[in-house]
Amino acid sequence: MSAFANYPSLAGRPVVISGGASGIGASLVREFAAQGARVGFVDIARDQGEALAAELSAAGARVSFAHCDVTDIPDYQAAIAGFAEVHGDALVLVNNAAHDQRHEWMEMTPEYWDNRIAVNLKHAFFAIQAVAPGMIRAGGGSIINFGSISWMIMSPKIPVYETAKAAAHGMSRAMARELGKHNIRVNTLVPGWVMTERQLTHWVDDAANRQIDENQALAGRVQSEDLARMALFLGADDSRMISAQDFIVDGGWAHG
């Protein structure tokens, strides 16, 4: 028996997840599928996405994958419509896709700025636009936007990423007001420094580990599953009266 919570309301519930092929996204796909949800996920990484969908489907989960660049809004919205044909209209949307590529503010060009905003913010708004009509017809739903503690703790070398992630918090509150009358709740899930393969490969060295140890209130490291389990709660009916809030999962580092 699992030591973690089971959410009966998620059984059979259609869920859409962006950036689901690896890292936090793959944990989101796995955890929602384990609850019996019908999961559709997109990612630009075709091979990883297809492999994850095949693995989970072989185990009996109801999972669909669409290869998609979320910055191509028409293609992304078409993928969401395709999931609706297979699983039904999404009642949970998890706007997870992002990319924290390092960059120098003095070297920024308008084109790179637009690209970073597209990767880290724009697609989330247009995914909401795509799923909201179905949620309205169903009488409710849950939208989970991923933020970041990076702008709270003033992380260096990612100013446009931080700008986009700070904006995600504002978008959640704005859309919570717009959609609340339809019983659609919108919240922000805020990761700390999560030990994904990407982070471990590129940035988690001895100095980073010292920084984590000095700043987290809790010992240990934040894992992808820790974010996914909070997403389960926000997607389930257990959170039915929670909206326009930030949920920080960072081991007790940032002050929201």
Sign of the Cα pseudo-torsion (129, 236, 14, 58, in order): positive
158 and 149 Cβ atoms separated by less than 8 Å: no
User: Which of 7, 76, 112, 161 is flagged as catalytic?
Assistant: 161
Q: How far apart are CA 124 and CA 122, in angstroms?
A: 5
Angle between helices 110-117 and 159-179 in degrees, nearest 10: 40
The verdict on whether 76 is a catalytic residue reads no
The residue length of the chain stands at 256
20 and 26 Cβ atoms separated by less than 8 Å: yes
Strand extents, DSSP E, 4-140:
14-18, 38-43, 62-67, 92-95
Distances (CA, A) of 22 to 17, 74, 241: 12, 23, 31
Active-site residue set: 161
